[in-house]
Structure 1
C-alpha cells in the first residue's frame, strides 16, 4: 500500500528541515539547557560548576546591576542612533540614487566589514585618545576634553560598527517598494512629506524593525566595543560574562546572567515583531 500525497509531502518537508533542526538542537538548544543547569548549580571551591539546585544566583543579579543598566540603556540608544542615520542613507540608495551607481554605493557600505571590528575599534581608540581629537581641540583652546573611556565613545563605536547592519534591511525593504504607490499619492495631491509618512514609512517598517531587532540583539551581548572604548568603566553584560567565566570562574552566576540575557533578547524580539505586525497592517514581518 502506497503512501498518500499528504504523507509524502510531510516526509519531504521533514527531510529538508532535519539538517537545520539538528544544527539548532546541537548548537542552540543543548547549550541553553547546559546554561540552565549551570545557573541553578553552585560554584565549585576551585571555580567552575558544582551540581546543586539553588536560585541564589538569580537573586544575586542586582550585584551586576551596573552592567544591566549600561546594556539596557546604551544598546537601545545605539540602535536608535543607527536608525536615525541609516534610514536617510537607505532611502537615498533605494529611491533617489542612480540605478547605474547603486551597486557601487551599496558595496561601499559593506566595505567596512572587510576589516576586522577589532582593528576598526583600535583605530577609534587612537582617534578619541589623548593624541587624537583632544589634541586638536587643545590647539583651538578647548582643553582637558576626555573622549575615550566614556559612554559617548561607546555609543560612537556602536554606531560606527553596526550602522551597515541597520542600513541593509531598510534598503531591501525600500528597494521592493512599489513606486506606483508614490506616484499615485502625488497624482492625488499628497505632499511629499505626507506621502512619506502614510506610504513609504509604513511599507518599509518591516525592514526598520528587522534592523532595530538585529542591532539591538547583537548589542545586548556586545563585549569588544565597551571593553576598548569604555576602558572598563562602561561595562556591558558581555563584559560581566567574560569576567565571571574567565576571571572569577563563577560559572553558575555567569550562566544565570546569560539566561537572563536570553530572556531579554526573546522579549525584545517578541515586542519588535508585535509592533511591526500591528503598524504594518498585519503583513508578513520577518525579523529572523
Structure 2
C-alpha cells in the first residue's frame, strides 16, 4: 500500500498543479473585488449578484443550456442507430466503421469547424446545392442552425463510440433467448437491448452535453458573433473586457452546474445498475 502511494505522488502533484490550483485561483478571483493587491483583498459576492440579477446574462445561460440540450438530443437520435448498426456487423467491418468515425477526430476541432464556414457561406457547396433546388435564398451561416450543426458534427462521435462500446459488451445469448421465447424484434430491443445499452447512452449524453454547454469557438465561428453563448461570454470577460473577477464568477457558476449534472447522471446510472441487480 505504501509503495502504491509513492507511485501515485506524481499524479497527485500533477492534479494539484493543473486542476486544484487553477480552480482555487478562479474561485478566489470570483469572490474578490477588482483591483485587489496580492497582500490584501476584499471578499465580496457582487460578481455573483451581478450575474443573477441581470436578465441578459440569465438569457445567455438559458440559451447555452437550450442549445446543449438540442445538441445532445440530436446526437442521441442520430448516434444510437449508427452505433446499433456498427455493433451488429462483423468485427472486421466494425473496425473499419469505427475508423471512419474516428478519422475526422484526428484533425483539430478548430480546423474542422473552419471547414464548415466554407461549406455554409454564400457561394459554398451547400449553398450551391440549395440554389439548384430553388432554396438559395436561405441563409445558412451565422445562424443558430449553423451553430447547432457545428456542435452535432463535432460531438456526435463521442455519442456513437460510447453507445457502440456498450452494445458490444452485451451478451448476445440474451437476444437469442428472447427470440426463442417468441419475442418480436421490437420487444427484444425495448426489453433487453435498450436497458443494457443505457450505461453507454448516459456516458454519451455526458460527453456531449458538458462540452456543448461551454463551447465558445463553434458559436464564435459559425454564429459570427451574433449567437452569443456562455462560453463566449467568459472568453469576452477575460480577453476583451478584462473583468477577470466577473469572468471567474461565471466560470464557477458553470463549474457548479456541470458538477450537479454529473452527479445527477451518476445517480441515474447507479439507480439503473441497482435495478438490474434486483
Do Structure 1 and Structure 2 share a fold, with TM-score over 0.5? yes
How far the C-alpha of 1:65 sits from its partner, in A, is: 2.3
What is the RMSD of the two structures over their aligned residues, measured on CA atoms? 1.9
Counterpart-to-counterpart distance in 2, 1:272 and 1:14: 30
Q: 1:105, CA displacement in angstroms?
A: 1.1
The 3-state SS of whatever aligns with 2:186 is helix
> Quick one: structure 1 residues 131 and 51, their matched pair in 2 at CA, closer, same or farther if it must change by over 3 Å?
farther
1:22 and 2:17 correspond: no
Residue aligning to 1:6: none
User: Residue deviations 1:235-277, cap 9 Å, x none?
Assistant: 1211111100010100000000000000011011011112222
Alpha-carbon deviation of 1:147?
Answer: 1.2
Aligned to 1:116: 108
Distance of 2:18 and 2:35 partners within structure 1: 26
Q: Which moved more, 1:17-26 or 1:102-111?
A: 17-26
- Alignment correspondent of 2:117: 125
Q: Is the aligned partner of 1:146 residue 2:136?
A: no
Alignment of 1:253-272 (within 5 A): 253-272=246-265
Is contact 1:82–1:163 with CA below 8 Å preserved after alignment? yes
* Structure-2 separation of matches of 1:198 and 1:12: 47
Matches within 5 A, 1:60-139: 60-61=50-51, 62=54, 63-94=56-87, 96-132=88-124, 133-139=126-132
- CA spacing shift, 1:220–1:283, aligned 2, 3 Å: farther
Q: Which moved more, 1:257-266 or 1:225-234?
A: 225-234
Separation in structure 1 between the aligned mates of residue 18 and residue 29 of structure 2, nearest angstrom? 17
**TM-score, with normalisation over the residues of structure 2?**
0.91
Q: Where does the alignment leave 5 or more consecutive residues of structure 1 unmatched?
A: 1-8
Given that residues 87 and 170 in structure 1 are in contact (C-alpha distance below 8 angstroms), is that contact kept between their aligned partners in structure 2? Answer: yes
Corresponding position: 1:41 with 2:32: yes
Matched residues in 2 for 1:97 and 1:149: separation? 39
Q: Tell me if structure 2 keeps the 8 A contact 1:70–1:234.
A: no
For residues 149 and 176 of structure 2, the distance between their equivalents in structure 1, rounded to whole angstroms, comes to: 38
Q: 2:203 aligns with which of 202, 205, 210?
A: 210
Report the 3-state secondary structure (helix = DSSP H, G, I; strand = E; otherwise coil) of the residue aligned with 2:274. Answer: coil
- Offset of residue 15 of structure 1: 2.8
Unaligned 5+ runs, structure 2: none
Task: Indicate the SS of the match to 2:134.
Answer: coil
CA distance in 2, matches of 1:110, 1:180: 29
* Offset of residue 283 of structure 1: 6.3
Partner of 1:156: 149
The answer to whether the 8 Å contact 2:79/2:156 transfers is yes
Structure 2 CA distance for aligned equivalents of residues 194 and 16 of structure 1:
50
